Structure 1
Amino acid sequence: MDTLKTSLIQQISLRNKNDIQLYIKREDLIHPFISGNKYRKLKYNILEAKRLNKKALLTFGGAFSNHIAATAFAGKEGGFKTIGIIRGEELEDKVDSNPTLSFAKSCGMQFLFVSREGYRSKSSLDFNESLKTKFGEFYLIPEGGTNELAIKGCEEILNSTDNQFDYICTCVGTGGTISGLINTAKEHQRILGFPALKGDFLKQDIRKFAKHENWKLVTDYHFGGYGKIKPELIAFINTFKNDYDIPLDPIYTGKMMFGIIDLIENGFFPKNSKILAIHTGGLQGVAGMNLKLKLKNLPLINE
């Protein structure tokens, strides 16, 4: 993959009674198409696929998956054939009208659309064997990209400049990014994860990779669950972009930043805390979300 740019750290100017300082690490700017944690997760997986002399990458995702878009571009850039197993048979006739899938298609990705019931079996041996029969040999990257090599990549998000912060905050999908942060954070730092999914089940997934107990999941800001969105969140994202010139996505980073600022206002953080929020990218999904919002006659996210 192309050499990534160095992450920019921007301060978010907030007035608060406890003199909390909030900064955001712009991982979304490190690559134009494989931004944020997707670059980190794919980096060592791509190197491993090359080492194994694999010619194809196969992975999984939904209609507006950041991971599908990133894998398609990374595969094209690295000379791989790419295969996307997409959740939802009804999407097969909607590829050209779907911003994420049409982008992946333009990068050369081949799709297999499966029912939601079938998709739930994606980790089974029988399903995997059926994919090998259909597509031949491939390098498999799990949904969301999280595996040990992805964790290794995410361990490179923090550097010595970030040692000044007391709290490191990240959104959480499959648990890979937060695991990398947990493993490389300094002893004085606390990692807070803001899940995009409803429920507390992610703890066990994170513990498979995390080496320390310096972390906590904040589960109050999912807005109803994965892919769910409310006008209050849309208004926050648009105001945040207007005030700070930083775009957020509605699935991950928007919910995280909403949560962080709400916690600051409600006295969660000790006085004089310095907080670093990781912007994990995901902005390609905004166009797809706006299509859904338009159908529901809801306000749109400013792109």
Structure 2
Amino acid sequence: MIEIPDKSNVLVDNQVFIKPDYLNHQYISGNKFRKLKYNLIEAKSLNFTSLITFGGAFSNHIAAVASAGKEYGFKTIGIIRGEELFDKIDANPTLSFAKSCGMTFEFVSRELYRNKASDDFLRPLKEKYPEAYIVPEGGTNDLAIKGCQEILTEEDDEFDFICCAVGTGGTISGIINSSNLNQKILGFPALKGDFLKEDIAKFATQENWQLIPDYHFGGYAKINEELVTFINDFKTKFQIPLDPIYTGKMMFGIFDMIKKGIIPKEAKVLAIHTGGLQGIEGMNNRLKQKNLPLIT
């Protein structure tokens, strides 16, 4: 894996800084680079020649694994949620990119996809692809946590709050484990529900964290005109792009919590920009269909 160059934190407000981790790689961006780093090292060491993973139609993880396979010499197989997508690959920016990287696909029903972590689902895959290393959906496992623990450095010790978006819980778990106990780690889930607390608790070694469930905008991949306006204004003001699924909602939440006094105005806040920018094109296609403003 390539070395990630040191990046200075970017000031975006009088108390909010962004750690631009999304600049660590053009395609295997942000937390996806972190999660895959040690998984790829493990796959190589065990002499696997292929990678199998799972995701939806616009998955950042699918795009990242496909790119990593191309760059580091693995064949890649994507198990994609939604049988109806099998003839829509070229019309889908994420899947068409993954295909261009050499990824092949198997499309499964949403009902079957729910069991993707079960032995009954995985056993036939292992028999069909004995040469393949299996990476879980979103990339979260012990090796992913190890990679995400490298996001924070000693330079980040000065911050009172460290914030990150939450999907499967792997990134925030790594951040929690490498944070100082006097720091408060705030996670902004992209999904509804409290199930993430249990998932994070399996990996987190400290208790200095909290999930903020108020800024998912209706659930995973849900978005409205207010959020689009915020993302576009943010980019205009700070020259930093945000994605609509994860970092846009996180930054909206941070600014709103400061405005409401939930985060004290004297506190120093570090927001981790985990990437996800490849999803903007797909979201804009959906916004066009709804005649809503586009993300610029």
Tell me the TM-score range normalised by the shorter chain.
over 0.9
Q: Quick one: which amino acid aligns to residue 12 of structure 2?
A: I
Does the alignment pair 1:226 with 2:210? no
Partner of 2:127: helix, strand, or coil?
A: helix
Can you list the C-alpha shifts for 1:141-192, whole angstroms capped at 9, x where unaligned?
0000000000000000000100010000000000000000100101210100
Find the partner of 1:39 among 17, 33, 37. Answer: 33
Matches within 5 A, 1:208-287: 208-287=202-281
Structure-2 residue corresponding to 1:199: 193
Q: Quick one: which amino acid aligns to residue 279 of structure 1?
A: H
Structure-2 residue corresponding to 1:6: 6
Task: Name segments (4+ residues, structure 1) moved above 6 Å.
Answer: none
8 Å CA contact retained: 1:166, 1:274:
yes
Matches within 5 A, 1:1-303: 1-14=1-14, 21-302=15-296
Counterparts of 1:109 and 1:12, CA distance in 2: 37
Report the TM-score when normalising by structure 1: 0.96
8 Å CA contact retained: 2:181, 2:206:
no
8 Å CA contact retained: 1:8, 1:27:
no
- In terms of mean alpha carbon deviation, does 257-266 or 4-13 score higher? 4-13
- In terms of mean alpha carbon deviation, does 168-177 or 264-273 score higher? 264-273
8 Å CA contact retained: 1:6, 1:30:
no
Counterparts of 2:243 and 2:286, CA distance in 1: 14
Aligned-CA RMSD value: 0.9
State the shift of 1:262 in Å: 0.1
Aligned length: 296
Counterparts of 1:184 and 1:4, CA distance in 2: 18
Counterparts of 2:12 and 2:25, CA distance in 1: 22
Counterparts of 2:81 and 2:158, CA distance in 1: 42
Can you list the C-alpha shifts for 1:79-119, whole angstroms capped at 9, x where unaligned?
10100000001111110111110010000001000010010
State the shift of 1:227 in Å: 0.6
Counterparts of 2:265 and 2:168, CA distance in 1: 32
8 Å CA contact retained: 1:182, 1:191:
yes
Counterparts of 2:5 and 2:30, CA distance in 1: 11
8 Å CA contact retained: 1:88, 1:113:
yes
State the shift of 1:138 in Å: 1.0
State the shift of 1:6 in Å: 2.4
Counterparts of 2:3 and 2:70, CA distance in 1: 15
Counterparts of 2:268 and 2:176, CA distance in 1: 17
Report the TM-score when normalising by structure 2: 0.98
Partner of 2:128: helix, strand, or coil?
A: helix
Identity percentage of aligned residues: 67
5+ residue gaps, structure 1, are 15-20
Counterparts of 2:17 and 2:221, CA distance in 1: 26
5+ residue gaps, structure 2, are none
Q: Quick one: which amino acid aligns to residue 6 of structure 2?
A: T
